[in-house]
Amino acid sequence: MTTKIFKSSQEALRDVISDSTIMSGGFGLCGIPENSINTLSEMPIRNLTLISNNIGNSGRGLVKLLVKDMITKAYCSYVGGNPDLEKRIFAKEIDVELVPQGTFSERIRAAGLGIRAFYTPTGHGTLVAEGKEVKEFDRPCILETALHADFAIIKAQKADPYGNLWFKETARNFSPLMAMAAKVTIVEVEELVELGDIAPEDVHLPGIFVQRIYKGSNYENAIEFKKVKE
């Protein structure tokens, strides 16, 4: 088996160039690929298209790329909690396509699974439907197309050398979908385990969708809003 394991984030990301389209997993800051984001922010690349639910949050995550003006186009569903992004939208410094979150995840899943487009009721009668084909089923639906990327950067809790992945709690979110939708999927993990250590029935994403794996380090695993029982 050709190894998919890379020694460092720098090595795993070395062929990411300007003008690339990159998907980045995570919901808010939960499950974001911290090491890959940090490494990309240090690379001399620009004019990136980012596909990510929040494009960072609370000044962290992909905001590191945003504040260096490395991102010119973005697809996301939610801007709340990301003042750096909102500011750039109003200043027209970035071209943002806001996509309803269910449509966002399904467009990514569709790309990975060979579906070219699908009809959905979500967004009908709103700005989201502008310029899109409408077809009447049980009710009016709009045509949405698959969303592809050159690279996906995601984080999993565990990977084996084949790239079988296991995610922790709600850190899974968009990551397995993005892994399927990109030409090259780069996974950073907290734990690299042996083949067989993740039981077949516990594999959340089969390794066929993963091209590169490395062990990350120094995770912040930031909590945005800590709420505890009073």
Whichever of 195 and 208 has its CB closer to other proteins, that residue is 208
Question: What is the distance between the terminal CA atoms of the chain, rounded to a whole angstrom?
Answer: 53
Q: Find, among 37, 40, 47, the residue nearest to 15 by Cα.
A: 40
> Could you give the C-alpha distances from 75 to 23, 79, 201, 210, in angstroms and in order?
9, 11, 33, 22
Name which of residues 48 to 77 contact other proteins (CB under 8 A).
Answer: 53, 57, 76-77
Question: Using CB under 8 A, which of the segments 11-19, 43-51, 145-153, 216-224 binds other proteins?
Answer: 216-224
Distance CA(5)–CA(14), nearest Å, equals 14
- Nearest approach, Cβ of residue 192 and other proteins (Å): 18
Q: What backbone phi and psi angles, to 5 degrees, belong to 225? A: -130, 100
Per-residue binding string, other proteins, 100-129, x by CB under 8 A, is xxxxxxx-xx----------xxxxxxxxx-
Q: How many residues bind other proteins (CB under 8 A)?
A: 58
Q: Find, among 207, 164, 185, the residue nearest to 23 by Cα.
A: 185
- Nearest approach, Cβ of residue 123 and other proteins (Å): 5
Distance CA(178)–CA(168), nearest Å, equals 17
- Should residue 95 be labelled a site residue for other proteins when binding is judged by CB under 8 A? no
Whichever of 106 and 188 has its CB closer to other proteins, that residue is 106
> Could you give the C-alpha distances from 169 to 87, 117, 157, 173, 174, in angstroms and in order?
32, 30, 10, 9, 13
- Nearest approach, Cβ of residue 155 and other proteins (Å): 10
Distance CA(34)–CA(75), nearest Å, equals 19
Per-residue binding string, other proteins, 126-165, x by CB under 8 A, is xxx----------------------------x--------
Whichever of 14 and 125 has its CB closer to other proteins, that residue is 125
- Should residue 98 be labelled a site residue for other proteins when binding is judged by CB under 8 A? yes
Question: Using CB under 8 A, which of the segments 43-51, 61-69, 191-199, 222-230 binds other proteins?
Answer: 222-230
Coil, strand or helix at 176:
helix
Give residues in contact with other proteins (CB under 8 A). 27-31, 53, 57, 76-81, 86, 89-90, 98, 100-106, 108-109, 120-128, 157, 167-177, 204, 221-230
